Amino acid sequence: MSRGEHKLVVYYDGSCPACMRDRRLYERLAGSGGRDVVWFDITGEETALRERGIDPDLALQELHVEDSGGGIHSEMAAYILLMGRVPFLKPLAWLLSLEPIKGLFSALYHRWVQRRLAREGRLPSSNQDPSQ
């Protein structure tokens, strides 16, 4: 897949049922506007991720989106970019871009992801925390 071929590439965890539900919801909300979004399942794609400058362990823990210029956006910036393309979600993208809200949602999201990965036994070894 060449970078200029599509406007956004979303690197998502296809092994995650919640991630798959989120993808389907986004596709429904985006409608025809979602045609410019390519979904790339990161499962087993460590080499491809590294070639794009994405750490595979971080890819499990944060959403990554590649824009048409090849720029990689992660975490909340990736969500804001993706949601900003859907008229219905633009107000939410704007709200999430506000610094106090952005930080709060980022912390909550990271906690949820860490717990999910730990429950599934897929937490990268550098992030193992026996208290979780």
Q: What is the CATH number of the domain that holds 66?
A: 3.40.30
Residue 124: the pLDDT is 76
Residue 115 lies in a domain: yes
pTM, to two decimals: 0.81
Residue 3: the pLDDT is 45
Number of C-alpha atoms within 13 angstroms, CB side, residue 42? 25
Distance CA 31, CA 16 (A): 23
Residue 126: the pLDDT is 57
Neighbours of 40 (CB within 10 A): 18
Tokens of 102: 């952005």
Give the chain's residues under pLDDT 50: 1-4, 130-132
Number of domains in the chain: 1
Q: Coil, strand, or helix at residue 12?
A: strand
Residue 83 lies in a domain: yes
Q: Which domain holds residue 118?
A: 3-127
Residue 123: the pLDDT is 78
Residue 28 lies in a domain: yes
Burial class (CB in 10 A: 0-12, 13-18, 19+), 29: middle
Tokens of 131: 């208290």
CA quadruple 77, 93, 127, 119: dihedral positive or negative?
A: negative
Q: What is the pLDDT of residues 91-123, one digit of tens each?
A: 999 999 999 999 999 999 889 888 988 988 887
Residue 132 lies in a domain: no
